[in-house]
Amino acid sequence: MSGPVHVQSDGEWQSLLSKNSVVVADFYADWCGPCKMIAPHFERLAKEHSRPNKVAFAKVNVDNQANIARTNGVTAMPTFVIFHNGSTVQTIRGANPSALTEAVTKAVALADGGKAEAVFKTPGRTLGGDGPVPAQRHWSVTVLLNVVMMLVGLYFTSLFSARRGAVHVQPEETAAIAGEAGSGWRTGASGQCPTATTETERCFSTSKAALQEPSAIPGSQSAEDIEKVVREAKQRFRDTLPKGYLSVEEYALYERLYGPPLRETAPEDVGIPTHADMEGQVTRLSDEGTLLRELEGGGFEEVIYRLPFADGEAEEPSISEQLSASEAAVEAVEESLSYIDAVARNPREHEALQRLMQDFKAAQKKQMEEEIVAARAEAEAEQEAYEMKEEEGEVLFDEQDPASPGVEMQVLSGEARRFHPYTLQGRFHGSPVEISLPQTSFVTPIRDLLDRTHLSHVKAAAEAAFGGPGLPTSPSTPEGKKNGQMGGVGLPPDQRHMTEIEADAFLAGFLPPAYASVTSVLREVRRRLGSDWIQERLKRSENAGLSVLDAGAGGAGLIAWEQILNAEWDLLREKGEVKGTQPPGRKTVITGSDRLRHRLKSFLHNTTFLPRLPDYEHSGEMQGEHLDAGDKPQPRKSYDLIIASHLFLKEKQDHYRQAILNNLWTLLNKDGGVLIVIEKAHPRGFEAVAHVRDTLLKQFLLPQNGEPGTPAEELNPAFHREREAGHIIAPCTNHGTCPMYKEAGKSKGRKDYCYFNQRFTRPTFYTKMLGNSSNTQGDVEFSYVAIQRGHLKADQRPGWKATEQAFAGYEHSQESPDMQTLPRMVLPPLKRKGHVTLDVCTPEGKIERWTVPKSFSKLAYHDARKSHWGDLWALGAKTKVARSVRVGSGVDDGGKRAEGGKKPRKVEISMDGGRLSANEKNARKERRSKGKRDRQTDLIKEILEAEDLEEREIEREMDGEVEEELRLEEEEEEKRKRRR
């Protein structure tokens, strides 16, 4: 017998239904706790009852196969659906092993030739289901005997409990138990029980056991019963306990075994917030509508849209109406299968968990009230401020004002009403500024992978790999950890060998900030190039899509790219220009470790994994000699987008960086391919990015119109190549020398460098890696450059001319500016009373300070105060001054910094009292005073050195005298010879 079949596509699902007479399908989700609990039971049933071409068991992941789930009306997990000849005959919702076993037994009878009407007479109402409830019950002798025995047992038990004063069975309880034919939910001794036959029998048996066990009666519990209760409480609530959960005897044993509990149990301790979605869905507000859009496969998808409130129609629902809708949603959930019903093992646990769930709902309701009140107050204050400005004649921007040419005559709201359109187009950050990491495709899969190991071990491994607490050598460096951390990332994705715990540490500590930085850069590239850059490739006849290479981001770049690509694909689908649910294209990621690759495969679908960068620069043409090649050369792989994160900083030598750049440029598509280089935000990271930019401008790209070319003598003949068209997309608006990188190489004492910031929402596992679980707001700083190959910049004006036009401003200009010719803010704006100072990098290649006073323009002043670091500025300024850039001094500039900051040593020798003494003029001052013994040692040393110096001086004088005597003797000898 074979096990269940995991359905991977719609075609496989249809094939399974057509080939088998009976199909039992398990619709599950990876995050669903009850799904995991009942999965082994479903596996056993599949192995026992599977028959080739007759009975098949299938598992369908609702997250991956949403179309199949929608077609079969799956709204809760787990849901078991039995198909006979392709038609649904029974549906079971919830983790109910007995009901599932009974249904499978009936389904097997169908495969043997039975009829569905005879086998499944009355499906009944399953746990959490919505099937029809039978009007009358079919009684049997066995059922009657069971009911009679229960009534007799309840009678004697009530008499016994009346004497002991323990359990009091109310008349309505007995009536509820006896009235088995009723419908809905009944309250028994063990909680709530559904009316389905199997669930009723299980509930009655639980009630009977609860009433007859001695452990249910205080004073009659045995030591084994007390120990069982205590151990179950420890398993369920860990180091906490609900208030009043244990009796005096039980609590005494709990303290003796485990010590006192740390605190009272909170809903988070038992996973209630994580599984609160099992309690049902919240009712939508009255300003939302629903449409069903037909898909290509014949199914439908649900589309939610907001209904605008026109004049004369009903206004937005009030706070009380919204809260009443939420309360109604909570009440409607009571009839469905809940998380508590699935995990509670006894009535005591069920009651305690129910109280915790009520506390959680009350806290949620209070939070919802506060959020609604705060949002309403903020909206009213904003509207009141705007109306006040309208009355005073200070409307910031009106789309119907004829003084604002180039703007469509339409009434907008929100930011479009308060800001100039060019200000909105030039923004670097989105709205909102903070990026939320995608839950389904990113956060949830990583969290599931990390659940296999305790996070404390992952945190220790992450700190060992990324430089200690705070992870300073990860893509995001904390504010207090920047000093001395000038290297690359501690654990790159192309590292060949990783242990299991290191691979988990990479997922937890590297991917979240890497995703935020790549997303920020991709959004900027998309704004500057426009949607046509993506949509044109998606609409091509060959429908090949876009190919992307993630070289350094470890898969985070691919997740970020999918968010942008899917948005463009949805726009094209709405226009009817493309068909299909998924955009075409190729995705490739560089991962050196097998352990990391296996983890990334679980959530990076349809992705090619490479252990290193392919090297096509030194390879020959693929033709003729190969079996799979024809006469024509085979086209080499090229990528429309290459995300090179943290590749250059780790290389210390310039020629290594040059080799990587040459390889990446070879892989880039010649017709509009985009290369993005990202490094960490510190002087060394900026210098690595600036070196790439400088090399591309000098050796790879043709000079732009009005820009000077590089002299031939500055080119390296080893890397000389034919220049081609291309331009810098962002962040630079000039194609000359970077004003912060005028001299190539490292620079000591650099204070000013180009980098940017992106805020993102930290997932829970990432905050635990940082050791601060309360702060969910993170920031990542990075330096980057984005270049497009094969296309020149649209505006070919010289940089000085573009700067002059930008300084004059485009607020009332007839000409629409090219956003890539506007100055960019390289620092946060300085806001003062009556004026704003902007530090910008101009298209001319200079760092200047532009001042925008209120007298210059009310709109420009308003937008300048609301601008952010990294924005492009189009509204001009009143004054500008050059700003000095603190770039430090190079290593080989010959100054004192290049020599390590040390002055040359000078020793002065003097004669004092008939003895020589040596004194060093530039000697370093001692930080600590010397002791008596040290002073004596120094004095003796000084005396010995003076004596040695004096002896050498005496020897030198004596040598001089001897030489003088010899010279005189030689002269005398010469005179005597002459006389002869």
Residue 870 main-chain phi, psi, to 5 deg: 100, -10
- Only one residue has tokens 């420890």, namely 234
Q: What own/partner pairs with CB < 8 Å and gap ≥ 24 does 127-134 have?
A: 127/92, 127/93, 127/94, 127/96, 127/99, 127/194, 127/196, 127/199, 127/337, 127/341, 128/76, 128/93, 128/94, 128/336, 128/337, 129/91, 129/92, 129/93, 129/94, 130/93, 131/91, 133/183, 133/195
Q: What Å distances lie between residue 660 and 608, 619, 679, CA to CA?
A: 21, 15, 14
Contact 704, 654 (CB under 8 A): no
Q: Which helix (H) or strand (E) holds 191?
A: strand 191-193
Report DSSP state, residue 636. P
Q: What is the largest CA-CA distance in the chain?
A: 163
The 3-class secondary structure across 80-93, one letter per residue, is: EEEEECCEEEEEEE
Catalytic residue (one of 32, 738, 754, 841) = 32
Cα of 830 vs its chain's centroid, Å: 31
Q: How many CB atoms lie within 10 A of CB 878?
A: 16
Report CA torsion sign: 526, 754, 421, 518.
Answer: positive
The amino acid at residue 355 is: R
List 590's β-bridge partners, or say none.
610
Q: In sequence order, what DSSP letters do the residues of 652-687 get, joined into one string? A: -SHHHHHHHHHHHHHHB-TTT-EEEEEEESSHHHHH
Secondary structure of residue 585 in the 3-state scheme: strand
Q: In sequence order, what DSSP letters do the residues of 693-748 get, joined into one string? A: HHHIIIIIBPPPTTPPPPPGGGS-GGG----B-EEEEES-S--S--TT-SS-S-EE
Q: What Å distances lie between residue 980 and 500, 501, 966, 974, 977, CA to CA?
A: 103, 103, 22, 10, 5
3-state class percentages of the chain: helix first, strand second, coil last, to nearest 5 = 40, 15, 40
Say if residue 731 is preceded by a cis peptide, omega within 30 of 0: yes
Nearest to 762 by CA among 453, 483, 446, 523: 446
Has 35 been annotated as catalytic? yes
**CA atoms lying within 13 Å on the CB side of residue 555:** 29
Query: Which residues lie closer than 8 Å to 439 by C-beta, 6 or more apart?
Result: none
What angle is formed at CA 741 by the lines to CA 739 and CA 746, rounded to 5 degrees? 155
Secondary structure of residue 389 in the 3-state scheme: helix
Nearest to 665 by CA among 560, 755, 555, 790: 790
Integer Cα distance of 124 and 187 in angstroms: 20
Q: How many CB atoms lie within 10 A of CB 822?
A: 24
Q: What Å distances lie between residue 279 and 5, 203, 288, 898, CA to CA?
A: 29, 21, 22, 68
Integer Cα distance of 23 and 60 in angstroms: 12
Integer Cα distance of 487 and 652 in angstroms: 10
Contact 336, 280 (CB under 8 A): yes
Active-site residue numbers? 32, 35
